[in-house]
Amino acid sequence: MTALAIDVRGLVKRFGARTIVDGVSIQVPEGRIQGFLGPNGSGKTTTIRMICGLLTPDAGEGTCLGRDLLTERAAIKRQVGYMTQRFGLWEDLSIRENLDFVARMYGFPDRRRRVSEALDRLGLAARRDQLAGDLSGGWKQRLALAACILHEPRLLLLDEPTAGVDPKARREFWDEIHALARDGITILVSTHYMDEAERCHEIAYLAAGRLIARGPVPAVVAGAGLRTRVVEAAEDGGPDLGRIGAELATRPGVEMVAAFGTRLHVSGTDEAALDAALAPLGALPGLAVAPADPTLEDVFIHLMETRREVRT
């Protein structure tokens, strides 16, 4: 069996009277990509920072990279690369100068080799003399990731790493993340992009500081108990889907309606009630209703709404 890079139980973090993380337990094998999803303020980043030794839990226990989470935080942090959402390097220095400065600042041995290898690995060598301030968002993220791996960490923490980056650059960035995982580096990543979440080996969904769902994406989707139907209008026109969607949203059994061009995704957890709500549409010309697998986005919204109802 693959050794666990992370094995934590019952993590709690409070800021004043507010509990941000409430009893989170999670295990991640070495070399795996663990995604964290959840609405803003759900405790994703706080959980990741406790796991990596950057914050001290108020309660809970466990290990990260074989080190005790409570008593060996400094040793954990030395083996972690942390990449924030906001670009934090120096825009008036070149790519090579940025990496060299980081290596000097932290006193890394064999500095030139490390910088050269990071440039080659992230495809930055041809741009080594370009100013960081002149780079596009995707190239800035590559540079930030190169800086994170200079000290050859065993664990990478990526906090919404591709926010504001175009789709091609995001795909290339994730290809590199998978390459790092194949080399045995464990990666924790928070994201709001569903396509990125689907590229993780497992995801964990947090809401109000609690772990609501966890596992491979297909298991999380199946475990939500959501049933989805697609209502599609004919290409040459048909009934007003906007009006139909608004009406469907008021019917028993319909918990969610989302428009996608000439289609509606209509979802609920009671399959019989959902089909009963959609049955009248069969008499309308120019419409087709068919079962479909719920998407991760469907499940994400469903979990958000379910948690909101529980709290109110």
Q: What is the DSSP string of 203-232?
A: EEEEETTEEEEEE-HHHHHHHTT-EEEEEE
Phi-psi region at 307: left, alpha or beta (left = phi > 0; alpha = psi -120 to 50) = alpha
Question: pLDDT value at position 305?
Answer: 78
Which of 25-34, 135-144, 235-244, 290-299 has maximum average pLDDT? 25-34
Residue pair 153/75 in contact by the 8 Å Cβ criterion: no
pLDDT in tens, 244-297: 999 999 999 999 999 988 899 999 999 999 999 999 998 888 889 999 999 998
pLDDT in tens, 207-234: 989 999 999 999 999 999 999 999 998 7
- The ranges assigned to domains in the chain are 4-217, 227-293
Could you give the strand order of the β-sheet that contains 256-260, starting from the edge strand earlier in sequence? Answer: 256-260, 263-268, 227-233, 287-292
Could you give the strand order of the β-sheet that contains 4-15, starting from the edge strand earlier in sequence? Answer: 18-29, 4-15, 59-64, 67-68
Do the bridges between strand 263-268 and strand 256-260 make them parallel or antiparallel, or are there none, so unpaired?
Answer: antiparallel
List C-alpha distances in Å: 134 to 4, 48, 91, 137, 173. 41, 31, 8, 10, 19
Q: Which pTM does this prediction carry?
A: 0.88
117 or 282: which leads in pLDDT: 117
Spell 65-82 as b/e; 16+ CB within 10 A means b: bebebeeebeebbebbbb
Question: What is the residue-averaged pLDDT of the chain?
Answer: 91
Fold topology of 227-293: Alpha-Beta Plaits (3.30.70)
Is the confidence at residue 142, as pLDDT, over 60? yes
Distance CA(161)–CA(170), nearest Å, equals 9
HSE-up of residue 66 (Cα within 13 Å, Cβ side): 5
Distance CA(165)–CA(29), nearest Å, equals 29
Question: pLDDT value at position 237?
Answer: 61
Question: pLDDT value at position 238?
Answer: 67
Residue pair 257/264 in contact by the 8 Å Cβ criterion: yes
Question: pLDDT value at position 160?
Answer: 86
Is the confidence at residue 149, as pLDDT, over 50? yes
User: Tell me: domain 4-217, CATH 3.40.50.300, correct?
Assistant: yes
